[in-house]
Structure 1
Amino acid sequence: MTAQSRPAPVIGVLFPLSVVFFEFATFISNDMIMPGMPAVAHDLGAQSVGVISLALSAALMGNIGTQWLLGPLSDALGRRPVFLAGVVIFTLSCFAGMAVQSMWQFILLRAVQGAGGAFTMAVGYPAIQEAFEEKRAVRTISLMANVSLLAPIVGPVAGALVVTVFSWRVIFLLIALVSLVAFAGLWKSMPKSRQRTLSFRFHIVRTLRGYRRCLMNRELLSGSFALGFIFGMLMIWIALSPIGLIERQGLTPLSYALWQLPVFAGLVGGNLLLSQIVYRVEIERLIAISISCIAAGAMLAVALTWGNQDFRWLIPGVTISSFGMGIGFGGLMRRTLFAVPGSSKGAVAAFINTVFMFVGIALVEGCKHFYLVYGMEAIAATLGFCAAGAMVSLAVRRHARSGLAVSAG
């Protein structure tokens, strides 16, 4: 059944709802397991607390390791079959998570789960972008983000409760069940691509040439780096807060989970504000407001934590930055995705996601190393670096856009 023959509520409501339900499952696979990571490391015989953030980085590496392939593959075969295959891969990897016997098996499995999660960004979101015009797409994705962002709010609390009452392995069973529900909704509602993409055969040389064109586009590349610096700020909090709050400050998993709430409430608040003002405020203005909040939050985090080893003092600054991320991330993603006119959106989305997630991983692992050696000052400095990097990247992007405008004129 094509998009034109499906009932409008199925395309307009059930399809994005099913996509975000699967995204919720992939997000919550990170957020539920994080409060249980000390228990995972203990049960599987890990020798260092550094593996706690490595498990998250492995999921992100699995994600970016498949991004480059999924976009062009979905351009060639169609979004629907590729996305459904990704849901199946992720679901099976969650069931397998109940049986791991070593830390390295666990990390490998997290990489596979990350690869399954890559299908949302490289295939699911481009399908939604193609289904709606710009303002509606930004608003739809903003509303979807409010649902998916329940994962970092609900996930730590739910994960802490599961780890307290049951085994951490039960977490993977629950996530697999959520993923199965998403699969059922996608099977019913996901349309075929508007284009007859089957006429385009997947070809590795053509794919690499397409990525080279992306790499040479300054607006696309600088926008992708800006997304990476913004994304990295949140990932630093998610990856290192279990070490800082549970391992170093002795908080219980439940207390750790409760300290997550302000940060992700800020993110949800930014998305809710975006959904209300997106039709009245120009996208570039939203991006400018966003980076102002992000920079202010980073400066506050630096001021509160420099010389202070209490991890909780990061929360006010990171919350303000998360609020800014909620306002501008979707609009920046949309404008960056359409920076290369006429190109296949699957390949461009894969390029963007690969760049910004690689930047995020590098920031997380670098910050972890220096935090374990030098303490809170390392995190404060890295957050400041992220904000500065985002601002410089957006300045380069503005210059590239103005150059294109002059050329077009």
Structure 2
Amino acid sequence: MRLNRITLMFPLALVLFEFAVYIGNDLIQPAMLSITQEFGVSATWAPSSMSFYLLGGASVAWLLGPLSDRLGRKKVLLAGVAFFTVCCLLILLTHNIEQFLALRFLQGIGLTVISAVGYAAIQETFEERDAIKVMALMANISLLAPLLGPVLGAFLIEHISWHWGFVAIASVSFLSWFGLKKFMPSAQESRAKQPFIYIFDDFKKVFSNHRFLGTSLALPLVAMPLMLWIALSPVILVDELKLSSLQYGLAQFPIFFGLIAGNIVLIKVMDRFALGKTILVGLPIMFLGTLFLILGVIWPLYLVPCLLIGMTLISFGEGISFSVMYRFALMSSEVSKGTVAAAVSMIMMMSFFVIIELVRVLYTHFHIWAFALASVTLIAVWFAQPRRVLKQVMQARQQQGIN
């Protein structure tokens, strides 16, 4: 399907739900210091709100992707949006941190609805380069969440209550349900009618594919520094560096504008170069950004400027790399795309959960050094096996006459 004003309505409806899911993290993370105080627990619990959110996304990816292959993308997507909406309202009834994190876990299923079902539908609906452009466009719109979230979160803390944030998120999600019901192509229906037990054979084929593993494992390496920043920045900036909630919110703007700029550059230049070239440019930029983080820790007087410059470079590099990398991962296997997208989602979400919780623990001992060194290590690892796999993919495409 070609990209035009009519066909664009489906991804716009999907990105409205994506915005709700993302702001479900970005709006709440700034409020976590207040929430931990309300529940009478340590501020070091704040990053767990995000890690349990991500763990929820990883827990059902194995089911939702294959289920959408068999029942149809639209049915599973609409059910997932409705489930997320209900969970956003149920969290208003929590009375302790355990109940709160349990509902955050269930809300995180919305992440898998997007990545294992919604993104698969986008890749199937549009031609290759149009699909990547749509993904980049969706990323730019959804990035309003991390831009607005910290500022709105600060407003919630100072003037009303964090509960109203979840009411607003549920309202946006409910609105997206109607848009998806109307505009999502009904042609996104099952083509694979094997018994459901065959999903295990499908996953075995996917995970035994070395090219899939190489391209998929690269995704969390690239996305992880920014995810760590989102999880830890309330503790770093507000709890440790004593910035105000408003200053914390404003500090996020250059970082996420960098990500938006990266996506815009990707859309503008991708037709001029072979797919993958922007990744080879973006990752060195990200590595340079991680070095700024180290410089800031070494010279504390310049810590905040170095953090902002470094994270802006990291986010820009991610912007020109991630959508192409995701496309390569999804198309690296011939198995049904719902199953492949689910496998990608599981790798990403489990990696996010494990690394965020690990760095959270290390942060209690080593503070900002833990964040900076983790970011450098993640990007450095990409230059080993994932980079080699990327070059193999690009070489294979060139031999097949595909740019």
Give 2:20's aligned residue: 25
Residues 1:219 and 2:214 aligned together = no
Residues 1:260 and 2:252 aligned together = yes
Shift of 1:311: 5.5
Preserved contact between residue 217 and residue 348 of structure 2 (Cα < 8 Å) = yes
Which stretch has the larger CA shift, 354-363 or 19-28? Answer: 354-363
* Counterpart-to-counterpart distance in 1, 2:350 and 2:223: 10
Shift of 1:252: 2.1
Residues 1:230 and 2:222 aligned together = yes
Residues 1:387 and 2:379 aligned together = yes
Amino acid corresponding to residue 15 of structure 1 in structure 2: F
- Listed as ranges, the matches of 1:109-124 within 5 Å are 109-124=103-118
Give 1:315's aligned residue: 308
Preserved contact between residue 282 and residue 321 of structure 2 (Cα < 8 Å) = yes
Preserved contact between residue 72 and residue 188 of structure 2 (Cα < 8 Å) = no
Shift of 1:211: 1.4
The secondary structure found in structure 2 opposite 1:283 is coil
Name the CA shift for 1:39/1:84 in 2 (closer, same or farther; >3 Å): same
Q: 1:227-267: CA deviations, max 9, x gaps?
A: 11111111110011111111112222221111111111110
Residues 1:49 and 2:43 aligned together = yes
* Counterpart-to-counterpart distance in 2, 1:194 and 1:96: 31
The secondary structure found in structure 2 opposite 1:282 is coil
TM-score normalised per structure 2 = 0.94
Give 2:32's aligned residue: 37
- Listed as ranges, the matches of 1:4-403 within 5 Å are 9-10=5-6, 12-46=7-41, 48-194=42-188, 196-197=190-191, 200-204=193-197, 206-306=198-298, 308=300, 310=303, 313-340=306-333, 342-398=334-390, 400-401=392-393
Shift of 1:143: 0.8
Name the CA shift for 1:255/1:8 in 2 (closer, same or farther; >3 Å): closer
Name the CA shift for 1:374/1:134 in 2 (closer, same or farther; >3 Å): same
The secondary structure found in structure 2 opposite 1:200 is coil
Preserved contact between residue 244 and residue 311 of structure 1 (Cα < 8 Å) = no
Amino acid corresponding to residue 322 of structure 1 in structure 2: S
Name the CA shift for 1:216/1:104 in 2 (closer, same or farther; >3 Å): same
The secondary structure found in structure 1 opposite 2:268 is helix
Shift of 1:23: 0.2
* Counterpart-to-counterpart distance in 1, 2:395 and 2:252: 42
Question: In percent, how many aligned pairs have the same letter?
Answer: 34
Which stretch has the larger CA shift, 226-235 or 373-382? Answer: 373-382
Amino acid corresponding to residue 191 of structure 1 in structure 2: P
* Counterpart-to-counterpart distance in 2, 1:245 and 1:212: 43
Preserved contact between residue 306 and residue 380 of structure 1 (Cα < 8 Å) = no
* Counterpart-to-counterpart distance in 2, 1:405 and 1:8: 27
* Counterpart-to-counterpart distance in 1, 2:65 and 2:104: 21
Name the CA shift for 1:357/1:393 in 2 (closer, same or farther; >3 Å): farther
Amino acid corresponding to residue 42 of structure 1 in structure 2: Q
Amino acid corresponding to residue 323 of structure 2 in structure 1: G
Preserved contact between residue 51 and residue 352 of structure 2 (Cα < 8 Å) = no
Name the CA shift for 1:168/1:275 in 2 (closer, same or farther; >3 Å): same
* Counterpart-to-counterpart distance in 1, 2:378 and 2:66: 30
Gaps of 5+ in 1: none
- Paired residues in the alignment total 400
Q: 1:38-91: CA deviations, max 9, x gaps?
A: 111111222x22210011000000001111111100000000000000000000
Q: 1:144-171: CA deviations, max 9, x gaps?
A: 1110011000111111112211111110
